[in-house]
Amino acid sequence: MVDQSLSVPKYWRRIPQYYRLTALKCRKCGRVYFPPRAICDCGSREFDEVELPRRGRLIEFTVLRSVTSDFEKQRPLIFGIVDLNGVRVLGQLVDCPNPEKLSDNAEVEVVFRRVKEDSDYGIIYYGFKLRPLKGCW
């Protein structure tokens, strides 16, 4: 059975977000959206493309120690919300073997990693993940 949750065309349309953290900034009010959207809260449909910064601060995180077999090699699985200059992004934290040493407000950087592999077609999907700069070893 083929997993349709991330089709190839859908993935290709989202490459700017997955690879470069491309967001949209409203020309009228200045609000930044990630992932991008068609209409701003102010009603405007005019946006400029901006790239989010590559470093930010961890706001919250959770550690999953019990995972399905698909994620066994990545255990413990850590997800966090990061503030990238006012824009909050949810992502997986990597390179953190001791999550008990991780703390809120930790500085993190955006890194480019393999996200998924489609075994039926051999397609490898890449995207961003988040790596703590200190305090996780």
Residue 92: CB partners within 8 Å, gap ≥ 6?
74, 77, 78, 79, 129, 130
Average confidence (pLDDT) over 112-117: 77
C-beta separation of 113 from 95 below 8 A: no
Determine if the pTM surpasses 0.85.
no
Share of the chain above pLDDT 90, in %: 45
Each residue's pLDDT tens digit, 35-79: 889 999 999 999 999 999 999 999 999 998 887 877 777 778 899
Note the pLDDT of residue 93. 94
Concatenating the DSSP letter of every residue in the chain gives: ----TT-HHHHHHTHHHHHH-EEEEETTT--EESS--SS-TTS---EEEEEPPSEEEEEEEEEE-S--GGGGGGPSEEEEEEEETTEEEEEEE-S-S-GGG--TT-EEEEEEEEEEEETTTTEEEEEEEEEESSS--
Any idea where the domains of the chain sit in the sequence?
A: 8-132
pLDDT of residue 83: 96
